[in-house]
Amino acid sequence: MSKISVITVNYNNDLGLKETIDSVISQTYNNFEFLIIDGGSKDNSYNIIKEYEDKITYWVSESDKGVYSAMNKGILKASGDYIIFMNSGDVFNDENVLKSVVPKFDTNAYFIYGNNFKKKENSKRLKTYPEKLNFSFFYTSSLNHQATFISKKAFTELFLYDENKKIVADWELFIVGICKENLPYQYINETICVYDFTGMSSNGKYQAITDSEKKETLEKYFPAFVEDYQQVALLNSKRIQQVIHIQKSPLIWKLMKWTISLFLLFTPKMKK
């Protein structure tokens, strides 16, 4: 069966790191390795890693250029068939996740993904994913790398993560691999992890960075679709989604159409 490389990236999150280590080493599946890439933490992370050193296949604690730099370090050291990132604060859903999902792998797939729980301070919400992925999916969402097993071949045949990006380098790998290169993928309808949903990529105040980085990827790999991408943005807006939802209620939809027709009577005609 496939060998799994579990990579944990950490920087100054000693409590989260310990929680992640405990989750990884408790897995009942035997054919996996565990790598920790620490960015030279100033808290107690180093001592925690040393405490668990005999359970860790490879680790390093040194400064890096950021999260994707650290992830690339792990990728280059990994020897597994598939890589999954379980960063500090993230945990597997239970101790049998790998034992349950790895036997179901279609080993031709480059990306094998499942569901996750998104955890905030006072909430925990299940996030599920579609079995079929397309360009519009990647406009509003992405695969969760803590719930996605990525074939090592994806990194050698495509590229490593773009270390100049701060938020969407993993999204870039997914959208290019699936929507441009048509690499095979597989959905397994099981919950893989509990994901710490308080990081930078989940914080709305960094949305401008996210949008800018996504635009850069689209202009590089999908230049013909940039305008379509903007149309997809409109179609996926909350207002349009509310209209689609209203259609499910015949009476309310009828009233809404009547109201719109009334407004259109007093609206200048569109020029053809």
Q: Determine the pLDDT at residue 241.
A: 58
Q: Determine the pLDDT at residue 252.
A: 73
φ, ψ for residue 37 (rounded to 5)?
-115, 105
DSSP string, 49-80: HHHTGGG-SEEEE---SSHHHHHHHHHHH--S
The gap between the terminal CA atoms of the chain, to the nearest Å, is: 61
Q: What is the mean pLDDT of each run of 10 residues along the chain (272 residues)?
A: 97 97 98 98 97 98 95 98 96 98 98 94 88 90 96 98 96 97 98 82 72 92 77 58 67 71 66 56
Residues 19 and 98: their CA atoms lie apart, in Å, by 17
Each residue's pLDDT tens digit, 69-104? 999 999 999 999 999 999 999 999 999 999 999 999
CA-wise closest residue to 35 among 66, 72, 68, 77? 77
State both tokens at 244.
């689609």
Q: Determine the pLDDT at residue 199.
A: 59
The separation between CA 183 and the C-alpha centre of its own chain, rounded to angstroms, equals: 17
Q: Determine the pLDDT at residue 270.
A: 56
CA-wise closest residue to 149 among 252, 257, 3? 3
Residues 179 and 173: their CA atoms lie apart, in Å, by 10
Residues 250 and 222: their CA atoms lie apart, in Å, by 39
What is this structure's pTM?
0.83
Structural domains present in the chain = 4-232 (3.90.550.10), 237-265 (no CATH)
Question: Any alpha helices (H) in 102-221, and if so which ranges?
Answer: 135-140, 152-157, 169-175, 207-221
Question: Any alpha helices (H) in the chain, and if so which ranges?
Answer: 14-25, 45-51, 67-77, 97-101, 135-140, 152-157, 169-175, 207-221, 226-235, 238-246, 250-265
CA-wise closest residue to 23 among 74, 99, 88, 94? 94
Residues 61 and 45 sit within 8 Å (Cβ to Cβ): yes
Length of the chain: 272
